[in-house]
Structure 1
Amino acid sequence: MYEPEFVKGLFNRMSSSYERVNYITSFGFSIRWRRQFLQEIQATEAQVEILDMLTGMGETWEAAKKKLPYAKITALDFSEGMLKHAERKNNVKFRKEVSVIQQDILQNQLPESGFDYAICAFELKTFDLPQVRILATETKRVLKPGGQFSFIEVSKPESKLLQFFYGFYLGKLIPILGKLLLGNPREYRMLWQYTERFQDARDVAAIFKDAGLEVSFKSYFYGCATGFTGYKKA
């Protein structure tokens, strides 16, 4: 389930409905969480470079532009289905100002020390731990000295009661929605399987710390989302 081609195919098939379902699966919190995880990085009006890793459909661009209004965004993803929608959003809402690149973040051609910020929303769960180690190394490589990063992912809540209801919602009800939208509930059932295996971002944060980055773990809404933020030492 973590093989890149499998994950790419999964998101290609879900691309027509993923943004709506992501909003629904988070009870509408995904928009708020995108703002919150960007609050962890330092605001500036300088002309900085942002790398939006695993950009999906470009759902984080608006929040990133509000936080860093003069930033240039480079958006990377390996799913052509997702990027088709991202390009449409780029043309309609962002005057083609976002640089959209189709590459695998684990095997990329991005410049070393080329970015002031690296951000990633709701894609960590599709990596196993060996892949996370590569992701941490690549994050460190592409950031400038002193560059900041922030990651967030839907997680299993800390409360047992929330775990039960959230698990039932994602594991049972969302696949029904997937069947209505795609005719196949399997893709959306996979989202809960990824989340259940992921648990929360603690292990990922520890791997980023082991890679030599300064890292702080973050929790949002009783652990329904978790993430981490930090910077590359100068």
Structure 2
Amino acid sequence: MDQNSQTASQQNAHGAGASPSASTGSSTGGNTASFGFRAVPETERQGLVNKVFASVAGRYDLMNDLMSGGLHRLWKRELITLLNPPRGATPFKLLDVAGGTGDIAMRYAKDSGPNATAVICDISPEMLEVGRRRIADAGLESRIQCIEGNAEELPFANNSFDAYTIAFGIRNVTHIDRALAEAYRVLKPGGRFLCLEFSECRVPVLDRLYDFHSFEVIPRLGQLAAGDADSYRYLAESIRRFPPQEKFAGLVRNAGFSRVTHRDLTGGIAAIHGGWKI
């Protein structure tokens, strides 16, 4: 199947309300899961995703710049604004999942008070290594801890955190429902869940331009900038396999969260989903 046919097929699947990814907890058939537009054995998917992030770890910010045209920086700022961490002496503990390079956690630390701390949990040791270097360079080691772990089986006790964030990471887990259940488990009562993720563009013309950018431009830029077109192609494809806004909001509700909301950014190219553990 050529790339245009793949894109059209995926757009039709979204329009028909089909399950966009085995990552929602269902399977594409048997024990398989989606890896971009390919079906792979479910047991192999996480390893394939890990290889992608091992490849792009050193150029992660560049990757997000290519994927979003630089807009990810504004979107992350909006995420921290919505989180609204305490700026006084109030203790506050954030868990940032799949945040290996430290971008969200460092923004949070700089915008919060001295007793606000963060734990970054990421399955990729390569991403965490980048994060540790950046955190050390920023002098934030006393406030940000890095721990290797899987979003589907978090290595933390129940009711441990005041807030949970995940930015551009949840579409890369194999079972989204399990990751959301874990988010709910580790949050304290009254804790907040916030997820920033690429989503379904809903602006005519812009959606076509975005598809062209995703499937024609990004892999070429990935090859030129990082010598790795395949990883960038997977990342573009994984966006189209991710549930659209309302469907993902339903998954958040199913995990137990209350007051579930979503806010489109840049015409729906990305969205911030939120919920509370009551």
Q: TM-score range by the shorter chain?
A: over 0.9
- Structure 2 residue 86 is the aligned partner of structure 1 residue 41: no
Larger radius of gyration: 2
Q: State the alpha-carbon separation in 2 of the partners of residues 230 and 184 from structure 1.
A: 36
Within the candidate set 151, 155, 160, 2:195 is matched to 151
Matches within 5 A, 1:147-226: 147-214=191-258, 215-226=260-271
Aligned counterpart for 2:131 among listed residues 86, 89, 95: 86
Equivalenced residues, count: 231
Q: In 2, distance between residues paired with 1:31 and 1:132? A: 24
1:22-48 Cα shifts (integer Å, max 9, x gaps): 023211111110111222234423111
The answer to whether the 8 A contact 1:54-1:123 is kept is yes
Contact persistence 2:201–2:268 (CA under 8 A): yes
Give 1:66 shift: 3.8
Q: Within 5 Å, which residues of 2 pair with 1:90-101?
A: 90-97=135-142, 98-101=144-147
Aligned to 1:13, the other structure's residue is in SS state helix
What's the TM-score once normalised by structure 1's chain length? 0.92
User: 1:199 & 1:176 partners in 2: Cα distance?
Assistant: 26
Residue in structure 2 matched with residue 102 of structure 1 by the alignment: 148
Say whether the 8 Å CA contact 1:41–1:229 is kept in structure 2.
no
Contact 2:168 2:198 in 1 (8 A): yes
Cα displacement (A) at 1:61:
2.1
2:101 corresponds to: 57
Displacement, 1:105? 1.5
**Structure 1 SS opposite 2:267:** coil
> 1: CA distance between counterparts of 2:191 and 2:153?
21
Deviation sequence 1:87-114 (CA, Å, 0-9, x none): 1011111331211001111122212100
The reply on whether 1:74 has 2:116 as its aligned counterpart is no
Q: Please say if residues 153 and 201 of structure 1, whose CA atoms lie closer than 8 Å, have aligned partners that are also in contact.
A: no
Matched, 1:127 2:169: no
**For the Cα contact (< 8 Å) 2:151–2:173, is it kept in 1?**
no
1:112 alignment partner, SS class: coil
1:57 aligned partner, one-letter code:
T
Which amino acid letter does the alignment assign opposite residue 23 of structure 1?
A: D
Gaps of 5+ in 1: none
Q: Deviations over 1:162-214 (max 9, x none)?
A: 11111111211111111123323111011110011115333222111112211
SS class of match (1:113)? coil
Q: TM-score, structure 2 length as denominator?
A: 0.78
Q: CA deviation at 1:135?
A: 1.1
Residue 7 of structure 1: aligned partner: 49
1:27 maps onto 2:42 in alignment? no
Structure 1 runs, 4 residues or longer, greater than 4 Å off: none
RMSD, matched Cα: 1.6
